Amino acid sequence: MSQDIIDSLAVGYVLVEWTIRVIMLIVVPLRRSPGAARGWLFVTFFIPIPALIVYLLIGRPTYPRWRRKRFEKARQLLANATDEISHSKFCSHPILPETYAPAAKLVQNLGQFPILGGNRIDLLSDYDRTVDQLVSDINGANHHVHLLSYIFANDRTGSKVIDALIRATERGVECRVLVDALGSRRWARTIRNRLTSEGVQVARALPVTFLRRRSARADLRNHRKIAIIDASIGYIGSQNIIDAEYAPGLFNRELVVHVAGPVVLEMQAVFAADWYLETGQVLDDATYFPHRHGKGSIMAQLLPSGPDFPVTGAGRLVVALIYSARQRIVITTPYFIPDVALVEALETAVLRGVEVNLILSRVSDNILVGLAQRSYYDQMLRAGITIYLYGDGLLHAKHIMVDDLICVVGSTNIDIRSFQLNAEASLIIYDEKLARMLAAEQSKNIASSERLSQEVWNQRAVPVKLAQNIARLVSPLL
């Protein structure tokens, strides 16, 4: 090959790179947050051609047209279920104190589910006991069991649940299992074969394939963890169906809410909508939404969120709750990568005299995410926010408490992925007694944590600071 041809190819390559940079500079900021735009443009500047390829694959947090059309039908199913729940004489619709009313109204407008009274709610933080209680409830099921999990592993914990599902099916109980296709990819085929051979219905959420027209995007996942037994018992929280120590030497610490009462029907509606999205099967029989007397006195409502919804619900709720706080905010999350709105809300809360505490895991199961998270510590500390770093394993629990009144527990992390890319579910609880129970759980976590000081944090090495700052630049893409 002559030198002239080589020179022409080199010039052409440079022109292509700069053309990509200019086009991305025009296109990327449209309908995208400043942080996300900054991350994409940063990557594009250094590696324009790979950045363009990745952008075309995952550049916008939207599902394909066929799924958006199907979700319109799913939203109608959710609306029908909400109407059925709302008109039940057994579902209490409490008159809210002024302290609760704005949050409850926001949650309903974001996710369409109303606040319901008459619930009994317990917090489960012992990993193995949570699994054992779930298995016990499945063993007692009479009509149906619905499980939705981001990770469902074929290990000791998974086998316990699988065996319980098989026994339930043998008794004539309808059992359905929905797992995220990527979150459970290592075990999905084995689990599906074991369960379907025994009569359990299994579906994968958002499968990613290269040869099928209806392949999902790899970055948009169903991250929910929900279980419903006979439409009367529900589980929701951070815990997947996998051994606590799935990574050697790293024990997961979780929090799950065990629910009995009308709000379980809202969890049922979310499962039914997700099941329809993946299978086309409609679960709208009255037996899935029975009218029963309440089991307790706690008020609660469910907030589903994700790219299917027109408004990013989880992030808006968290920001709104922070702005509503008057005394204290405690946030527990394994992944803390806030957007600009959340950072400003936290800083403003401190300026208003609100005590803000972050309980974060010292260790992370993702190196880049861990670096990006730690890049925010300096800003948080300078704002007057207290950071506790949990040291007894990976604190994977996700919960928020505001003014010892409102509690949020579910699958939602405090990061851009949970706010914009993942399908999540959070239970919002309005009860002072339950808040005291959650406060005790938070105190226990703080006791196993070390408070991070500004002086200690300033002593980290320069290369570490550089790595964290680089990770922060791409954090909106994580």
pLDDT digits (tens, 9 = 90+) for 352-385: 999 999 999 999 988 889 999 999 999 999 999 9
**Calpha distance 422→241 (Å, rounded):** 18
Lookup: tokens for 369: 């995410």
| Residue-level pLDDT at 307 | 84
Residue 386 has pLDDT above 90, yes or no: yes
* Residue extents of the structural domains in the chain: 3-58, 65-100+116-298, 313-477
- Please tell me the predicted confidence (pLDDT) of residue 62: 62
Q: How confident is the model at residue 238 (pLDDT cuts 50, 70, 90)?
A: very high
Whether 313-477 and 65-100+116-298 are alike in CATH topology: the answer is: yes
Residue with tokens 């010292």: 362
CB 279 within 8 A of CB 203: yes
The pTM of the full predicted model, rounded to 2 decimals, is 0.88
36 falls in which pLDDT band (50, 70, 90)?
low
Mean pLDDT within 179-202: 95
Q: Quote the pLDDT of residue 33.
A: 62
Instruction: Give the pLDDT confidence score for residue 215 in this predicted structure.
Output: 64
Picking from 72-76, 196-200, 228-232, 390-394, which range would have the lowest pLDDT averaged per residue? 72-76
Q: Would you place residue 23 in the very low, low, confident or very high pLDDT band (cuts 50, 70, 90)?
A: confident
Cα separation, 142 vs 165, whole angstroms: 12
Q: Per the CATH hierarchy, to which homologous superfamily does domain 313-477 belong? A: Endonuclease Chain A (3.30.870.10)
Q: How confident is the model at residue 7 (pLDDT cuts 50, 70, 90)?
A: low
What CATH fold (topology level) applies to the domain 65-100+116-298?
Endonuclease; Chain A (3.30.870)
pLDDT score at 172: 97
Question: How deeply is 89 buried, as exposed, middle or buried, from its count of CB atoms within 10 A (0-12, 13-18, 19+)?
Answer: exposed
Mean pLDDT of the chain: 88
What is the pLDDT averaged over residues 113-131? Answer: 95
* Residue 145 banded pLDDT, cuts 50, 70, 90: very high
Number of H helices, E strands in the chain: 17, 19
Whole-number pLDDT of residue 166: 98
pLDDT at 253 over 60: yes
